[in-house]
Structure 1
Amino acid sequence: MNADRETNRLPLRAGAMLLLAIAVVCLGLGIHQLTMSDEAPDAGLKAAGESAQAAASAERSQQAAAPSSTPAQTSARTADTAGVPKLCVLNAGNVTGLAGEVSKTLTDAGFKVGETANLSTGSISENTIFYNPDQEEAAKKVAAAVPGGADLAARPAVFTRCADELAVIVVSR
Structure 2
Amino acid sequence: MKADRETNRLPLRAGAMLLLAVAVVFIGLGWHRAATSGDEGDTASTSVAESTTATPTESSAAGGDETSTPASSSKVADAADVGSVCVLNAGTVTGLAGKVSDSLKQSGFDVSGAENLSTGSISENTVFYDEGDEAAAQKVADVVPGGASADPRPAVFTRCEGEIVVIVVTE
Q: Give the distance between the partners of 1:83 and 1:113, measured in 2 at CA.
A: 13
One of 107, 112, 116 as aligned partner of 2:105: 107
Q: 5+ unaligned residues in a row in structure 1: which ranges?
A: 1-61
Give the secondary-structure state (helix, strand or coil) at the position aligned to 2:132: helix
Q: Report whether the alignment pairs 1:150 with 2:156.
A: no
In structure 2, distance between residues paired with 1:122 and 1:167: 17
Q: Name the structure where helix makes up a greater proportion of residues.
A: 2
| 1:149 CA displacement | 0.6
**1:74 Cα deviation (Å)?**
5.0
- 2:130/2:152 contact within 8 Å kept: yes
Deviation string, structure 1 residues 31-85 (Cα, Å, up to 9, x no partner): xxxxxxxxxxxxxxxxxxxxxxxxxxxxxxx9xx975x78645532322213201
RMSD after superposition: 2.3
SS at match of 2:133: helix
Q: Partner residue of 2:116?
A: 118
Give, in whole Å, the separation in 1 of the partners of 2:76 and 2:147.
Answer: 20
Matched residue, 2:39: none
AA aligned opposite 1:94: T
Query: Map of 1:13-162 to 2, 5 A cutoff?
Result: 67=62, 72=70, 75-162=73-160
Task: Report the Cα distance in structure 2 between the residues aligned to 1:143 and 1:160, rounded to whole angstroms.
Answer: 20
Taking every aligned residue pair, what percent have the same amino acid on both sides? 56
SS of residue matched to 2:160: coil
Aligned to 1:46: none
Aligned residue pairs: how many?
A: 111
Counterpart residue identity of residue 113, structure 2:
E
1:74–1:150 distance in 2 versus 1, CA, 3 Å? closer
**Map of 2:168 onto structure 1:** 170
TM-score, normalised by the number of residues in structure 2: 0.59
Contact 2:101 2:113 (C-alpha < 8 Å) held by counterparts: no
